[in-house]
Structure 1
Amino acid sequence: MTRPEVPAVVSPAEVPAVEVRGLQVKLDGVPILAGIDLTVRSGEWVTVIGPNGAGKSTLLRAVGGLLPAPDAVRLFGTPLRDLRRRERARVVATVAQSPVVPPGMAVLDYVLLGRNPYIPPLGRESATDLAVVHELLDRLDLGGFHGRELATLSGGERQRVFLARALAQGATLLLLDEPTSALDIGHQQEVLELVDQLRRTEGLTVVATMHDLSIAGEYADRMVLLANGRIAATGTPDQVLTEDLLSHHYRAHVTVIPGPHGPLVLPTRPSHP
């Protein structure tokens, strides 16, 4: 895939992609995150897990600049507060769980929105912009959907379109909030393999939230377990996906077994007398 020129705010590889220090977030006066410290290395895949309400999506929104936390977050060495909106869009792209979909918009036009950071004011998309979008649609099994309205697509098809728009930004940091929640198992693997391929070949840094713990453990270099708005554990998938940690924080009965690419978490029924 043709990548745009790297923005000047991106620093050398030794500078962390994400630095979060003392992040606190309140929504409607309710504390959601309290004292979060997190460092993500450039090119790393970090997956954030945790029970419902732990603050996973809120953490991603804060890192992406969608919540007011500018003093607690640095991206590639630059304080978030110093990045103008257009600059930030070239550095970080977010795939939210339920993005706002403009009514009547076709797939091609929606994905082209990801190229806005590279289109001059009052200008139009270039041949390069169109080539990037068409390549992404093909790679995400959406080649025949150019003229389809987003509202007519299935949940899984829309999810792939949302990812295509984010990848079209050519950003160095990709934030994925439950990227496979609406996908069947085949498209789950296709999407995650594509993201991992871009990470390895083009230096993409990935921070994701995921509910499927087995899939999360297969792709992440490192995992962060959130609980009650705080980091309860961090480390490799083998260190975080343990029966003790998961049973305690998820209040679930699970069995964890080794897999070829990471631990496999199997829900089990509790024993009854």
Structure 2
Amino acid sequence: MISARDLRVRLDGNLIVDGVDLDVARGEWVMVIGPNGAGKSTALRAIGGLLPFTGRVELNGRPVDTLHRRERAKTIATVNQTPTVPPGMRVLDYALLGRTPYIPPLGRESAADLAAVQEVLESLDVAQFAGRRLETLSGGERQRVFLARALAQGAGILLLDEPTSALDIGHQQEVLELIDRLRAERGLTVLATMHDLSVAGEYADRMVLLAEGAVVAAGTAREVLTEENLAKHYRVRVRIIEGEHGPLVVPVRG
């Protein structure tokens, strides 16, 4: 479970996240949306303990800033929008990075670590790429490998920053369906940022709309994705069409 209260983040003296309150229940998928510069990625990084903040953030009832780095990595796994990958790194080696919290200093991965990574690679259908370099894979394949590293951590909480931003519509759906399936199978709690509002509404249990660093709307997709909210905070004209799983947002020319 994730709980944030009065979360504030300053970067270079500028207030980027301004008093955010946020809750994500165990097993829930919450999408954070908002226009560019709203503070979505910054809030996510602060919740993951990767940026200094004021206020309070708790993971499973424990303040994130009191967790040892290894303990935090066993609790929460983050997939950044553009993960840094060393040149020439192979899929297996990258996925094994997720086992770092379990490997003693100056130690090596154990047979159990290798088995855990193999199981994750097979579940994501990328085991056949174990010996290949990441840069040789397609966008959708790389995204599954990024997820594999996160899942190999064994964390119950996933933070996903624009997990489909570089993917075409087919690979977007593939990755999101995969995340949803793994969430159900493993009881994962997911907090994600996303720009595509229709896609976000299709998969989110709840949504949080940020604008200028603050929460301006929260609730179900139907409660948040309204023509009024989007006109006010995105400065855009849209038409909302009822979809099978959530509202579909269609831009309307002026």
**TM-score scaled by length of structure 1:** 0.88
Correspondence for 2:155: 171
Q: Does 1:191 align with 2:160?
A: no
Correspondence for 1:251: 235
Aligned counterpart in structure 1 of residue 217 of structure 2, from 204, 216, 233: 233
What is the root-mean-square deviation in Å for CA atoms of aligned residues?
1.6
Structure 1 residues 242 and 88, CA gap change in structure 2 (3 angstroms)? same
Percent sequence identity over aligned pairs: 69
* Counterpart Cα distance in 2 of 1:139 and 1:34: 39
Stretch moving more, 196-205 or 20-29 = 196-205
1:74-113 counterparts in 2 under 5 A? 74-113=58-97
Correspondence for 2:118: 134
Aligned counterpart in structure 1 of residue 16 of structure 2, from 32, 39, 46: 32
The answer to whether the Cα contact below 8 Å between 2:10 and 2:53 also exists between their aligned partners in 1 is no
Task: Give the match's secondary structure for 1:104.
Answer: coil
Aligned AA for 2:37? G
Cα offset, 1:164, TM superposition:
1.4
Structure 1 residues 154 and 70, CA gap change in structure 2 (3 angstroms)? farther
Correspondence for 2:134: 150
The answer to whether the Cα contact below 8 Å between 2:103 and 2:109 also exists between their aligned partners in 1 is yes
The answer to whether the Cα contact below 8 Å between 1:71 and 1:79 also exists between their aligned partners in 2 is no
| Count of aligned residue pairs for this structure pair | 254
Correspondence for 1:218: 202
Cα offset, 1:108, TM superposition:
0.9
Correspondence for 2:38: 54
Unmatched tracts of structure 1, length 5 or more: 1-16
* Counterpart Cα distance in 1 of 2:145 and 2:253: 37
Cα offset, 1:158, TM superposition:
2.6
Cα offset, 1:71, TM superposition:
5.0
* Counterpart Cα distance in 2 of 1:201 and 1:140: 13
**TM-score scaled by length of structure 2:** 0.94
| Residues 33-67 of structure 1, C-alpha deviations (whole Å, 9 max, x = no match) | 11111111111110000000000000100000000
Structure 1 residues 57 and 179, CA gap change in structure 2 (3 angstroms)? same
Task: Give the match's secondary structure for 1:180.
Answer: coil
* Counterpart Cα distance in 2 of 1:67 and 1:143: 33
Task: Give the match's secondary structure for 1:144.
Answer: helix
* Counterpart Cα distance in 2 of 1:114 and 1:70: 28
Aligned AA for 2:83? P
Aligned AA for 2:38? A
Cα offset, 1:70, TM superposition:
6.7
Correspondence for 1:66: 50
Q: Does 1:116 align with 2:90?
A: no
Unmatched tracts of structure 2, length 5 or more: none
* Counterpart Cα distance in 2 of 1:169 and 1:115: 5
Correspondence for 1:44: 28
Cα offset, 1:121, TM superposition:
2.8
